[in-house]
Structure 1
Amino acid sequence: MTSVDVHQHLWTPSLVAALRARREPPFLDGWTLRLHGEPPFEVPPGDHDIAGRAELAAADGLGRVLVSLSSPIGVEWLPAAEARPLLDAYHEGSAALPEPFGAWAAACVRDVDANAAAKDLDRGFAGLQLPANALADAAGYARCAPLLDLLEERGLPLFVHPGPAPAESAGPGWWPAMVPYVQQMHAAWFAFRAFGRPRHPGLRVCFALLAGLAPLHGERFAARGGGAEADVDPGVFVETSSYGPHAVDATVRALGAEAVVQGSDRPYAQPPLNPGFGLGGAAAYAFRVANPQRLLTGR
């Protein structure tokens, strides 16, 4: 069976060209990314060299790497007329990536169009990524319901990734990753339990960055009447990007090893040197092989 990393980012030439064609955020000025809610970011071109990234994947022992649109850029939140050229460029480039790459599809969440998402998924994408701030409450789940219905009908998973940081967010360069992104994932985790799972009983879902460590709040959840602390959903997974042995160990204690899959967020973070995070070879196999297989196929 194949070792999988479910969370990387790789900007193809078509996406780069589409971002450079814009004059309002989000856009690329050369290799400087300009967004609404974050300071300008200098993108190292080598991070998105396709051949180089394939070599890194091979060195990591990965047989499959799933790339996704960088949701903090904010493409999914643009009006459909602005989002569609960028989404088309992303899907075109990602669908043409060589082995070992696969990809998550993306969709506009401001103007939801399930028919457009269906056509994108027809190209062989692993599932659909949506920004966490689109799935943070009941209204978000109502708005995105046609997209989630589509995934359920096709037996494909949902990947929840941090969305754009608020425009008023301020602080040092690490602030968006440590505060808004984590807060979004925390909210999305509990919103899925409250609003997503009741409406979508068959949907498999994976939360980026260990769901902002929301699973570690099980004791408080139980104390405040939310439900049993050990009430684990077998269709829910979390990926490990940017975290290490302490956080992964605690998450395994909260959810069990069957809920954890490897995600690295490369090039913004690196895959773990120890894929078992100090928990042994069986854990490494579960995180990289068995659990991603269940997430992606349901088997």
Structure 2
Amino acid sequence: MNRIDTHQHVVPPRYAEWLKAKGIRPGGVDVPDWSESAALEFMDGHGIQTGILSLSTPGVHFGDDEEARRWAREINLYCADIKDRRPGRFGFFATLPMPDVDGAIEEAEYALDVLKADGIVLLANYEGRYLGDKDFVPLLEFLHERGTTVFVHPGELPAEPVPGIPGFTADFLLDTTRTAISLILSGAMTQYAGIRFILAHAGGFVPYIAYRILLTMAKEGLPPSLDVLKQFYFDIALSATPAALPSLLEVADPDHITYGSDFPFAPPIAVGAINGLYEQYPLDPELRRAIDRGNAETLFPRLEGQQ
């Protein structure tokens, strides 16, 4: 039991009540029940030593900056308490009140310096603006200077949903893909190379369309090279399958792939099924150990030796 799960969600009870009162179904699913004890039981049953907790979509901003700042602080304090009590079992990516950039920088500084967050979680888009947007430059500059690990989780695609097709099925993957391309074409991956971006769900469609991205780079006057894609980290949450792994392994730097579960939005039975496929997939044992733990230890040195 030594995996480090870089894609594990927290759903604080008060936050869950808030979303339910608003009638929000993240990604087209009900807000799941979550508790610290349930998370530990799940982790013990799936070979996970440490879960790095993060808030999923829709985040905390619903049009009111002050309200979003209060909720971000409450959630970060909640997560910090869990991490401080069980530092070997939990870490957390701090929530920011985006797209309030000033509030986001203030909260990121507090979370990293005072609460000792392991990194930051950002949604792929905010009000239809992706992470390479010029409005987000001050936050990227701050995170770059701090050498921050940033977990990028998909949000609601800024488009009308297709009736009968939940957002998690395909929209989430496109959202992640769009923000990765936005970061590349804006030059952010070069200018803010100190940020270590982890793309959820094996980067969405990024590995599969890698050469389309290169063609787009060439069209936009950028040197087309897979090296820029190898800067990204990729988690394998709900993506460690015979259909997805070949593309990911072809594109990603082997040192930049991490284990992910997507619990509790992915129920234990689904995680178990994906884990079964992953465990049967013919990987070099050293690469498997790196994905399960070693690559995440590089991102989170405090976890080294805590097996």
- TM-score for the superposition, normalised by structure 1: 0.82
Q: After superposition, give the CA deviation of every residue in 1:92-112 in whole Å (9 maximum; x if it has no partner).
A: 211111431111001122211
Q: Which amino acid aligns with 1:208?
A: A
Identical-residue share of aligned pairs (%): 23
8 Å Cα contact 2:4-2:51 kept in structure 1: yes
Counterpart in the other structure of 2:212: 220
CA contact (8 A) 1:38 1:167 kept: no
Indicate the residue corresponding to 2:11 in structure 1: 11
Q: Which residue of 2 aligns with 1:58?
A: 44
Q: Is the 8 A contact 2:119 2:151 kept in 1?
A: yes
Deviation at 1:62, TM superposition (A): 2.0
Structure-1 residue corresponding to 2:171: 180
Deviations 1:251-282 (A, max 9, x none): 10122422211111111222623357432422
Q: Are residue 119 (structure 1) and residue 117 (structure 2) matched? A: no
Aligned counterparts, 1:45-84, within 5 A: 45=33, 48-71=34-57, 73-76=58-61, 78-84=63-69
**What is residue 231 of structure 1 aligned with on the other side?**
227
SS of residue in 2 equivalent to 1:294: helix
Question: Number of paired residues?
Answer: 283
> What residue number does 2:263 align with?
266
Determine if the alignment matches structure 1 residue 102 to structure 2 residue 106: no
Query: Which deviates more, 48-57 or 100-109?
Result: 48-57
Over the aligned positions, Cα root-mean-square deviation in angstroms equals: 3.0
Which position in structure 2 is the counterpart of 1:210? Answer: 202
Question: Normalized against structure 2, the TM-score is what?
Answer: 0.80
Separation in 2, partners of 1:124, 1:117: 10
C-alpha change, 1:18 and 1:220, in structure 2 (3 Å) is: closer
State how far apart, in whole Å, the 2-side matches of 1:60 and 1:136 are. 36
State the alpha-carbon separation in 2 of the partners of residues 210 and 139 from structure 1: 18
**Contact between 1:235 and 1:295, CA under 8 Å: does it hold in 2?**
no
Q: How far apart are residue 137 of structure 1 and its match?
A: 6.1
1:241 lines up with 2:237 in the alignment: yes
AA aligned to 1:239 is D
Give the unaligned 5+ runs of structure 2: none
Unaligned runs of 5+ in 1: none
Q: Map 1:161-180; keep pairs closer than 5 Å.
A: 161-166=153-158, 168-172=160-164, 174-180=165-171
Distance 1:197 1:77, change over 3 A: farther
Alignment partner of 2:7: what SS? strand
**In structure 1, what is the Cα distance between the partners aligned to 2:250 and 2:47?**
27
